[in-house]
Amino acid sequence: MTLRLYNTQTRTVEPLVPLHPPRVGVYGCGPTVYGAAHIGNFRTFLVFDLVHRYLEWRGFQVRFVMNLTDVDDKTIQAAQAAGQTIQEYTEPFVTAFHADAEALGMRPFHAYPRATAYVDEMVDLVRRLLEKGLAYTTEDGSVFFRIAAFSDYGKLSGKDLEAMQQGERVSADEYGKEDPRDFALWKGAKEGDREAGAVWGAPWGEGRPGWHLECSAMGLAEVGETLDLHLGGEDLIFPHHEDELAQSEGATGKPFVRCWLHVKHLRVDGAKMSKSLRNVFTVRELLDEGVEPAALRHQLLSAHYRSELNFTRAGLDASARAVRRVADFRARLREYPVERDGSPAGSLSHLAREARHDFQAAMDDDLNVPEALAALFVFVNRGNASLEGLKGAPIPESHRDLALETLTSLDEVLGFLELVDGEVGPDADLSAWVEERLAARQVAREARDFSEADRIRDELQERGVVLEDSPKGTRWKMRG
């Protein structure tokens, strides 16, 4: 099987063919850290994590870089309003982003370049574009990319260069340009920029980099002149990624990206996220409400990345139940009686192999997570049915181990059980009370006082405790 991905530029699903296999160089457009990232942002970032995990699962040697944009118009304006420099203003949001990413089980990427640390590389990139006639300076010390000189402009987004209108891509206060469609590579310094500590020197005048330039410089510096994969939200296709492509290929003369992958938006209760609708949630807000991290990760990954995902409270509850079903199956396998030398019993090993095959086939098909999850839950449901049919009869240890290894392997990509294992369980007082009640129930059962045993079970259930009796004893968990 071959991993195939939808390439935004070619508009086809095609095999991933790295420039230097088995190495894969990946760049993802990360957050602009002028505020807390919301769950719509994290829908995209969790797809990044999924790509990272799956590439490694498939045996690629991955270098994955995600930038942090810590200087742009909004960041400067927010820092000014707070009476801080951009460094002072953005640092808490950088810290919060990393905390949220860890809370949702995102594996660390190889680098998190910040734009302010790559200004020298940006200045050099602008210099190369000026030397090739692909850029020009204006009286205020700004530098603009000359779109008319780059014949391939529009090949990513499909935009018609001649049909582009003034105001579609540029703000009204940018004057002195040869063509209203040209975009800023470097913005001449203004007083507000100086107040926020967002001014750097350059041969053509003091100023600061344009947003599009930042990602090109960081991608070229951290990954290379040609990226195997470039990821981002669908809102970045134009103008951000189109401009990245133009300035990068204009400077290097080489293809900038072999495959562009873009993630669809997230909606909340069927509506676009909006502060006016009060439906913009951060990860921290939801976790502080008591939402389980594994459930939130499950819901944000549950739809195909090229389909809109509708976030709902009912969906969160369903995700919590789904994750718990997998965790319960794993716990059941761990406790199920086994024998070292016995004839094969049931179909557990066959189900495990089938689950891995179907999971990989789904993921290789443009990261089809819904089908991959279906493969996992078919395994869980049929595995439970297989164990039920055995009525406690032991199974070969190798079959049990293969089933557990399969769950672990699939979770290397999905990351749900990792979070379940890290979640805080019931408090110590509740746990002690439950264990005391279970001991009393066992005494009642041994004395054949089944009415008392049932009364204790009901008492536990009223506190949200679910019991599962097995040949090896009674397991308990909290009801979601």
pLDDT tens figures, 190-211 = 999 999 999 999 999 999 999 9
Averaged over 80-90, what is the pLDDT? 97
Bridge partners of 183, per DSSP, are 145
Around Cβ 389, how many Cβ atoms within 10 Å? 11
> CA 375 to CA 369: how far, in whole Å?
10
Helix axis angle, 313-335 to 293-301, nearest 10°: 110
Residue 168 pLDDT: 45
Q: Which two tokens stand for residue 329?
A: 């199956």
Quick check: 167 pLDDT over 50? no
Among the ranges given (21-30, 127-136, 157-166, 381-390), the one the predictor scored with the smallest mean pLDDT? 157-166
Residue 467 pLDDT: 78
Quick: pLDDT tens for 262-310: 999 999 999 998 878 889 999 999 999 999 999 999 999 999 999 999 9
Segment holding 427, helix H or strand E? none
Residue 173 pLDDT: 46
Confidence of residue 428 (pLDDT cuts 50, 70, 90): low
Averaged over 218-227, what is the pLDDT? 98
Placement of tokens 């968990």 in the chain: 477
Averaged over 68-90, what is the pLDDT? 96
Residue type, 112: Y
Quick check: 426 pLDDT over 60? no
Residue 433 pLDDT: 83
> CA 385 to CA 99: how far, in whole Å?
39
Residue 30 pLDDT: 98
Averaged over 463-471, what is the pLDDT? 71
Placement of tokens 């045993």 in the chain: 453
Contact between 263 and 232 under an 8 Å Cβ cutoff? The reply is yes
Residue 172 pLDDT: 39
C-alpha angle with apex 416: 414 to 419, nearest 5 degrees?
135
Provide the 8-state DSSP code for 32.
B
Query: Which of left, alpha, beta for 391 (phi over 0: left; psi -120 to 50: alpha)?
Result: left
pTM for the whole structure: 0.87
Task: Name the residue with higher pLDDT: 88 or 438.
Answer: 88
Percent of the chain with pLDDT over 70: 92
Non-local CB neighbours of 367 within 8 Å, separated by 6+ positions: 5, 47, 50, 51, 54, 304, 305
Quick: pLDDT tens for 328-352: 999 999 999 998 865 554 589 999 9
> CA 123 to CA 219: how far, in whole Å?
14
Residue 342 pLDDT: 57
Quick check: 61 pLDDT over 80? yes
End-to-end CA distance of the chain: 38
Segment holding 267, helix H or strand E? strand 266-268
Quick check: 453 pLDDT over 90? no
Segment holding 241, helix H or strand E? none
What is the DSSP track for 330-346? HHHHHHS-EESS----T
C-alpha angle with apex 334: 333 to 338, nearest 5 degrees?
80
Residue type, 436: E
> CA 327 to CA 329: how far, in whole Å?
5
| Pairing of the two strands 473-478 and 465-470 | antiparallel
pLDDT, averaged across the chain: 92
> CA 340 to CA 177: how far, in whole Å?
78
Quick check: 29 pLDDT over 50? yes
Query: Which of left, alpha, beta for 462 (phi over 0: left; psi -120 to 50: alpha)?
Result: alpha
> CA 73 to CA 78: how far, in whole Å?
9
Residue 480 pLDDT: 47
Around Cβ 165, how many Cβ atoms within 10 Å? 8
Among the ranges given (80-84, 258-262, 342-346), the one the predictor scored with the smallest mean pLDDT? 342-346
Helix axis angle, 39-57 to 86-103, nearest 10°: 60
